[in-house]
Amino acid sequence: MPRGPEAGRSDQNDPKRHWRVSAMFGAPFRFGQRRPTLGQKYKLWRVPRMTRATAVLLLCCIASPAVFAQSSDPDQLSDKERLGWRLYEQSCSICHTKPNLVLGQFGPVLSRESLNGRPELVREVIANGTPRMPGFKHHFAPAEIDAIAAYVQTLPPAEKR
């Protein structure tokens, strides 16, 4: 137990202890009674150069659209297949994609061999769904379902991607 002028003081009165800085959307939030100096702010926000470079590289790898792409060049598709590609990317690719570090696989990876290569079965599954997949007959027009089925027929088998 301290005696003399230090008696009764605790670490709670220390101004350094009153400051906690958290980074939320790049803005510091103040918890405490006193503001830090400019030098203290610099020390709190300074990030080593290699850490920044690693974070940028990781962000680029995660956000790369090539990670999620399944088909080859969409410019080689017909108009109907291109419409199917656009609808597939908007609505189907979230579940029917190859598993990677960021995103797991929810549905099977689709290809021209899906459902024994029969486009009429692909159309039926898209429209009515399965026990693990919702149907899209109220979401897509019949022509759009046909376009998605036509696009699925252009996809190579999963092991060749």
Q: 75 and 143 in one domain?
A: yes
CA gap 107, 99 in Å, rounded: 10
* 14 in a structural domain: yes
Looking at the predicted structure, is the pLDDT value of residue 14 above 60?
A: no
Q: What is the pLDDT of residue 106?
A: 78
Which of these ranges, 18-22, 54-58, 137-141, 151-155, has the smallest mean pLDDT? 18-22
Tens-digit pLDDT profile for residues 103-145: 666 788 888 887 887 889 989 999 999 998 899 999 999 999 9
Q: What angle do CA 74, 159, 155 make, to 5 degrees?
A: 25
How many domains does the chain fold into? 2
* 2 in a structural domain: no
Q: What is the pLDDT of residue 20?
A: 43
CA gap 115, 157 in Å, rounded: 12
**Residue 36 domain boundaries:** 8-63
Q: 149 and 91 in one domain?
A: yes
- pLDDT grade for 29, boundaries at 50, 70 and 90: very low
Q: 44 and 110 in one domain?
A: no
- Rounded (10°) CA dihedral 74, 79, 81, 86: 60
Q: Token pair of 13, please?
A: 């009165």
